[in-house]
Structure formats: C-alpha cells, structure tokens
C-alpha cells in the first residue's frame, strides 16, 4: 500500500482548467511543433540541423506533457462543488483566517497540489498552512511551522465554498 502513488485531488474548476489545457496542447501545440519540424527539415542535412533537433526535443516535451495531463485527468479524484461543506475545512473551501502572529486577515482557497496558485491565494492541501487548516472549524486556532523557519498562529474566522 505504501508503494501506491498518492491520488491526485482536483476541484471541479481545476479539472475543467486541465481539460482546457490538454485541448490546447493536443490541438494547437502539436500542430505548431509539427510545422516547426517541417520547416527545420527544409534546412537540409538532419544530422547537423540544430533547428530540427530542438524542434524534435520540444515535440518530446509536448508529448510527455500531454501524457501527464491525460493520466492526471483519468486517475484523479474530483471534489465536486456539492461535496464541499462550510462546517469543516477541506479541498474546495475558501478560508478566512486571522494571522495572530502578524496581526492580519488572510483568505486562502484550499486546492489539490496540482492547482496551487500563490498569486490567487490558492494553496495546496499538502502545504504547511493547507495541511494545518484541513479538518478545522470556525474558531479553531492552529500553529504552522513554515519553511522560512517561523511559526504562524492562525485562527479560522470563516469557511465558505
């Protein structure tokens, strides 16, 4: 059981975003790289053709990315919007906390590891803050050791979808 890969968890929004990205890679990026390869072939001897080699390498990266996205979509667990409760913090929740260490209010959305977006305050359920908040309720306080070597104390103020 310990050898099994950890299941990837995605919100419905994250699943839809990944589907859209896969569509872009399969319909646009594949065609772009095929055109680059065709142009590079026109430069002559393929054994000494840097443009051709680079295009083929990029094609390999694109195909690997497509396979990775297909596997993720096929094997992930999707947290549906109607499965998200506002009683207890889980994936898909938006959580307002008071950072008692820094005396400020912060709002995070808890997402699966593949959906993190620090600019949008979307944090992974596996991150130090995300993991500490998982399963907590309004009014509860948690201490979080963050990589900077600091301990934060957070109080849960609000849980929403």
What domains are there in the chain, each with its CATH number?
A: 9-79 (1.10.287.180), 84-160 (3.10.50.30)
pLDDT for the residue numbered 146? 87
Which parts of the chain sit beneath pLDDT 70? 1-5
- Residue 76 contacts residue 132 (beta carbons within 8 Å): no
Integer angstrom CA distances of residue 134 from 56, 70, 78, 114, 129? 44, 28, 17, 17, 9
pLDDT for the residue numbered 41? 83
pTM assigned to the model: 0.79
pLDDT for the residue numbered 7? 83
- Residue 43 contacts residue 49 (beta carbons within 8 Å): yes
- Residue 108 contacts residue 123 (beta carbons within 8 Å): yes
pLDDT for the residue numbered 6? 73
Residue 158 has phi, psi (to 5 degrees) of: -155, 140
Distance CA 141, CA 132 (A): 10
């Amino acid at each position: 059981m310990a050898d099994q890969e950890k299941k990837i968890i995605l919100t419905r929004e994250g699943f839809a975003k990944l589907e859209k990205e896969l569509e872009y890679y399969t319909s646009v990026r594949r065609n772009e790289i095929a055109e680059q390869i065709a142009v590079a072939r026109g430069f002559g001897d393929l054994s000494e053709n840097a443009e051709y080699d680079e295009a083929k390498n990029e094609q390999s990266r694109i195909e690997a990315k497509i396979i990775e996205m297909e596997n993720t979509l096929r094997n992930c667990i999707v947290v549906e919007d109607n499965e998200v409760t506002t009683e207890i913090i889980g994936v898909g929740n938006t959580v307002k906390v008071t950072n008692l260490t820094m005396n400020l209010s912060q709002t995070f959305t808890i997402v699966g590891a593949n959906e993190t977006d620090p600019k949008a305050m979307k944090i992974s359920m596996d991150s130090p803050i995300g993991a500490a908040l998982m399963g907590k309720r309004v009014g509860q306080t948690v201490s979080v050791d963050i990589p900077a070597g600091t301990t934060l104390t957070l109080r849960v103020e609000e849980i929403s979808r």
